[in-house]
Amino acid sequence: MTDILLSHDSQLIAATLLGAFHGINPAMGWLFAVFLAVQRNDARVLFFAIFPIALGQMLGDGVVITLQTAARFHFPLHTVHLFISSFIILYGLFRLFRYYRHFKWSGGLKVGYGQLILWSFLASSTHGSGLLFAPFILSAERLTDLIPIWVVHELGMLTSMILIALLVYYAGMAKFRKYIINFELIWAVLLLTVGLILLIMSGDMSGGSVHHH
């Protein structure tokens, strides 16, 4: 974590990798796009579906990131640091005991682009991926520092979603099933790890001043 916070370049790399990891999780939507493409026997459907799904992901992350950023620059840093780290730990525990469940779409495969965006937005909002932006937000000196970090994260996510979806579509679902791992459990552990590290770091901080940018 300390290395991540050392330089802007290392933050960009970390955000890109985080986005890529976020994107390869089947629960985040690309598998749904594959199902649609297979059902309609048209690879173009995969792209038509994956972009609104990615947009929903970006919006879901954006809400969580915006709330954290607003708190970061309007309240004492130490207070915000302590609150966010504690919340991430609590949410990580919640996800840990419910890792086998995630937001499910019950509307079947006959969906429009608006429904794909909505489903993806809700899935991303409840997944907690935006919470993992906390180390970048809490270390930012200016609001503008966060913009390129968010951009590379979303690009990393979109790229990994497209690549894994194409691979599964052309390789076949049967081959893919042999390599399924429990991303939800990994994600819960990652939330807990980040939250605990941030909580330890908050103990070394003195009360910060309110920042306005």
Q: CA angle 174-177-53, nearest 5°?
A: 100
Residue corresponding to tokens 């579906």:
49
Residue 31 has pLDDT above 70, yes or no: yes
The structural domains of the chain, with segments of one domain joined by +, span 8-202
Q: Average pLDDT over the chain, rounded to whole?
A: 82
| Interior angle at CA 77, CA 139 and CA 70, nearest 5 | 80
Q: Name, of 54-68, 115-129, 181-195, 199-213, the range with top average pLDDT.
A: 54-68
Inform me whether the pLDDT recorded for 110 exceeds 80: no
Please tell me the predicted confidence (pLDDT) of residue 109. 52
Angle, CA of 101, 160 and 171, to the nearest 5°? 85
Task: Give the amino acid at 100.
Answer: Y
Identity of residue 48? F
Q: How confident is the model at residue 84 (pLDDT cuts 50, 70, 90)?
A: very high
DSSP 108: -
pLDDT bucket at 116, cuts 50 / 70 / 90 = confident
Least confident of 98-107, 138-147, 162-171, 176-185: 98-107
pLDDT in tens, 172-184: 877 776 666 777 7
Task: State the burial class of residue 163 (Cβ atoms within 10 Å of its Cβ: 0-12, 13-18, 19+).
Answer: middle
Rounded Cα–Cα distance for residues 29 and 162 (Å): 11
The whole-number average pLDDT for the span 20-49 is 86
**128 within 8 A of 187, measured Cβ to Cβ:** yes
